[in-house]
Structure 1
Amino acid sequence: MELFIYLLSATLAVSFLWIVINGQFYPSYQNPSKLSPTPLVSILIPMRDEERNVQPLIENLKHLTFPNLEIVLLDDHSSDETYSKALELTKMDSRFSLIQGAPLKKGWAGKVHACHQLSHAANGDYFLFLDADARLKENTIESMLPFFKDQNVGLVTGFPHFPITSWLSKLLVPMQHFVIWLHLPLALANYSSFKPASAAHGAFMFFERSAYDFVDGHVAVKSSIVEDVHLARVMKEHGFKVKLINATPFVTCHMYETNAEVWNGFLKNIYIGIGKSPIMVTFLTIYYSLLYVLPLILAFLTPFYGIWFIVPLLLVWAQKLYIDLKTGQASYLFLFMPLSALAFLVIMHASMWKSLKNQHYIWKGRAYK
């Protein structure tokens, strides 16, 4: 048993070292530079039943300091007051335009179809697709444009800072950062054309327009409900670089408000996100059970078997705390890491079985498989 504890502790220590080293391959922010002529940036936002987000979203966008912006909002057949609220809040600002979405075409995912329409309504040299629950720091645009100075960069994206509300959001939403830091080789993601090493977050997708047009934009992923990752892979496939940044200093995403939203949101994405692979589900189940759930059980045995039994849990906490600090997350959440891992496994299995039983995922009144 002691040998197992030593091996487990050594594995977790190496994982912690890997997390620290891996994080060094996020691209560094550069000082905003004045561009001449100043490019036009189109901020493009699909909205479906976003009544609660409309006002804070528009107020946030009005405070952006970049001088050459157009902001296009699309109401995608909302059943609430999204359109009327947006119309009232934007009518006095010439930078904003509001359009109503066309009926969803067969074979298209809803958000992708909305983004495709937005791209046709935009005039910018750059396209920034935002989710309605995203909020930007005032100087975000001018801070992101320098990333495009590197040759052939077509997409800049990153995982935002996530405010958390419900208990399930506390367990699962910040795990998005943990999964990236632990599992994605950021050197390959940012400095190679290796497609499997790709990640993106749909709340913040910043494209150079000619690159977006070259790959046919959202048409290339029209049926995807994880279009962010698939678009990143399409960009690499066509020879463009994708910059995955730590976006937390500039982008905040109020992703889910309730436990039900957290469950349904992860349910529709997680199994598709790992390629609908039962083999990967099996591997991740074993991996997270041994490395991130078991240490909590071992810690309870410390009074009976000695201090070494708590070391694995301390190393698990150290990993999560390090990532939470680097991504601006609430620092106390590291204490729940074993429960976060368990919740991740539960929803991953639920997502897999829903797919294997050929059942639909439901999101905002639409059904997907």
Structure 2
Amino acid sequence: MESILFVLFTLGILVWLVFLLDALIGLRNLASLEKEPELNTGPLLSVIVAARNEEKQIKASILSQLKQTYKEVEWILVNDRSTDNTGIIMNELLKEDPRIQVIHINELPKGWLGKNHALYKGALQASGKWILFTDADVKYKKEAFAKALYYFEKHQLDHLTAAPNLHANRFWLKSFVAFFLFGFSYFKRPWMANNPKSKIGTGIGAFNLVSQKAYEAFGTHEKIKMRPDDDLQLGMKMKRAGYRQRIVTALHLIEVEWYGSLKEAFIGLEKNTFAGLNYRISMVFFSIFGVFVTNVLPFLTIFSANKTIALLSLGNIVTSGILYVVIIKRMTVFSPAMFVVLPITALLFIYSIIRASFLTFKRGGIVWRGTTYRLSELREKD
């Protein structure tokens, strides 16, 4: 066993060092949107907001958008079969500003996920040079659109995505969100979207800004109509297709409460965890093993009587800790001190993977916003 641990931890340190070097290089090219000038006037921006049962969030989100300093904007609010007061609130917002349009969807066509279909229907009505896909629970500072459009035009982009501040109120929720972003960052390497030579792309549901020309040429949301991780897939597939893309941070311009509690986080991750692992059991086991060996085991074996194993465990903790600090300080407003509970949050993340994968198989698919999507359909359209 000690020989196996020796190999695992030696390789672990080397892998962490590679990840750290990659992150340090990549994050140098990650701009902060707050530092950009504003575009004061220009062509029309179409903002598409799809919502299903978002009565608690949507009004505050849209009102924050109506205060934007960039005025050439139209909003297309899409009510996706809501069973609460979302549609009524949208109709009330319609009276707030003549730039708002509302679309009510009553039926979901076969072969579509609800949100993807709603975004697609909204985009069909868009008249702007640019289209911003955003969620119904996102709040914006008044200069957010103007700064994003300036950056978009300055770099002549086809797609721009922005990392928002993921607001969380409770310590364990914050630590879980921080671990998720940490793991996502070193697994998906989102900063590579800023490298024009790389095919690695990314997308974030809070803020996916595209040129209408590129979006239509790419194939619209029809290309990803059965992907529960539509925001990520839109960015990944557009970059892979050769479109010019960048990611920025907007931690003080855009804010979203990702989930209100750990329980909500576990439920929310049901829909896209298995999709993110390409619907493969082998990837589920690999992910569980990888997270445990890299983020839990060293915190146990550091107390080993074997001094070599203890030192290698310490080496893994230190190198992963440096990477954690680098990513968390750059990509979030959370305290890097949450690294002290990393093994616990890693175990919580392992639980979320097991839970989501088990429920997906038990149900034969995913249940998202009250609609069931069969696993056979999801795999077929992947």
TM over 0.5: yes
Deviations along 1:135-170, whole A, 9 cap, x unmatched?
122211121123433676321113321111356633
Q: Match of 1:114?
A: 118
Q: Match of 1:284?
A: 287
Q: Match of 2:358?
A: 353
* Aligned-partner Cα distance in 2 for 1:128–1:209: 9
**Secondary structure at the counterpart of residue 104 of structure 1:** coil
Q: Is the 8 A contact 2:138 2:256 kept in 1?
A: yes
Cα drift, residue 280 of structure 1:
2.8
Q: Match of 1:79?
A: 83
Distance of aligned partners of 1:22 and 1:194 in 2 relative to their CA distance in 1, 3 Å threshold: closer
Q: Match of 2:36?
A: 31
289-298 or 170-179, which deviates more: 170-179
Q: Does 1:100 align with 2:100?
A: no
Identity across aligned pairs (percent)?
24
Q: Match of 1:179?
A: 183
Cα drift, residue 263 of structure 1:
0.9
Q: Match of 2:326?
A: 322
Q: Is the 8 A contact 2:80 2:104 kept in 1?
A: yes
Q: Does 1:365 align with 2:375?
A: no
**Secondary structure at the counterpart of residue 173 of structure 1:** helix
Distance of aligned partners of 1:246 and 1:303 in 2 relative to their CA distance in 1, 3 Å threshold: farther
Q: Is the 8 A contact 1:26 1:186 kept in 2?
A: no
Cα drift, residue 247 of structure 1:
3.5
Distance of aligned partners of 1:14 and 1:218 in 2 relative to their CA distance in 1, 3 Å threshold: closer
Q: Is the 8 A contact 2:79 2:102 kept in 1?
A: yes
Q: Does 1:149 align with 2:157?
A: no
Cα drift, residue 91 of structure 1:
0.9
Distance of aligned partners of 1:122 and 1:132 in 2 relative to their CA distance in 1, 3 Å threshold: same
1:266 to 245, 266, 269: 269
Cα drift, residue 101 of structure 1:
1.8
**Secondary structure at the counterpart of residue 168 of structure 2:** coil
Distance of aligned partners of 1:227 and 1:3 in 2 relative to their CA distance in 1, 3 Å threshold: closer
Q: Match of 1:212?
A: 215
Q: Match of 1:344?
A: 349
**Secondary structure at the counterpart of residue 329 of structure 1:** coil
* Aligned-partner Cα distance in 1 for 2:237–2:132: 17
Q: Which amino acid aligns with 2:163?
A: F
Distance of aligned partners of 1:24 and 1:97 in 2 relative to their CA distance in 1, 3 Å threshold: same
Deviations along 1:271-330, whole A, 9 cap, x unmatched?
21121233333333332212211132235x289969846554344333323322212332
336-345 or 237-246, which deviates more: 237-246
112-121 or 344-353, which deviates more: 344-353
* Aligned-partner Cα distance in 1 for 2:264–2:158: 32
Distance of aligned partners of 1:333 and 1:145 in 2 relative to their CA distance in 1, 3 Å threshold: same
Cα drift, residue 128 of structure 1:
0.4
Gaps of 5+ in 1: none
Distance of aligned partners of 1:235 and 1:193 in 2 relative to their CA distance in 1, 3 Å threshold: farther
1:160 to 164, 176, 182: 164
* Aligned-partner Cα distance in 1 for 2:364–2:77: 32
Cα drift, residue 41 of structure 1:
0.5
Cα drift, residue 218 of structure 1:
1.0
Q: TM-score w.r.t. structure 2 length?
A: 0.84
Distance of aligned partners of 1:311 and 1:302 in 2 relative to their CA distance in 1, 3 Å threshold: farther
Q: Is the 8 A contact 2:193 2:239 kept in 1?
A: no
Q: Is the 8 A contact 1:296 1:313 kept in 2?
A: yes
Q: Which amino acid aligns with 2:112?
A: W
* Aligned-partner Cα distance in 2 for 1:51–1:170: 24
Q: Is the 8 A contact 1:167 1:259 kept in 2?
A: no
Q: Is the 8 A contact 2:68 2:141 kept in 1?
A: yes
Tell me how large the CA RMSD over aligned residues is: 2.9
**Secondary structure at the counterpart of residue 267 of structure 1:** coil
Cα drift, residue 78 of structure 1:
1.2
* Aligned-partner Cα distance in 1 for 2:39–2:210: 19
Q: Which amino acid aligns with 1:340?
A: T
Cα drift, residue 358 of structure 1:
5.9
Cα drift, residue 171 of structure 1:
3.9
1:234-253 equivalences under 5 Å are 234-253=237-256
Q: Is the 8 A contact 2:48 2:131 kept in 1?
A: yes
Q: Is the 8 A contact 2:190 2:202 kept in 1?
A: no
**Secondary structure at the counterpart of residue 74 of structure 1:** strand
Deviations along 1:191-225, whole A, 9 cap, x unmatched?
24654x22211221111011111122112212221
* Aligned-partner Cα distance in 2 for 1:49–1:116: 18
* Aligned-partner Cα distance in 1 for 2:197–2:107: 36
Deviations along 1:3-34, whole A, 9 cap, x unmatched?
67676556545543433223223256573354
Q: Is the 8 A contact 1:147 1:243 kept in 2?
A: no
Q: Does 1:46 align with 2:54?
A: no
* Aligned-partner Cα distance in 2 for 1:51–1:324: 32
**Secondary structure at the counterpart of residue 160 of structure 2:** strand
179-188 or 247-256, which deviates more: 179-188
Q: Is the 8 A contact 2:38 2:143 kept in 1?
A: no
**Secondary structure at the counterpart of residue 118 of structure 1:** helix
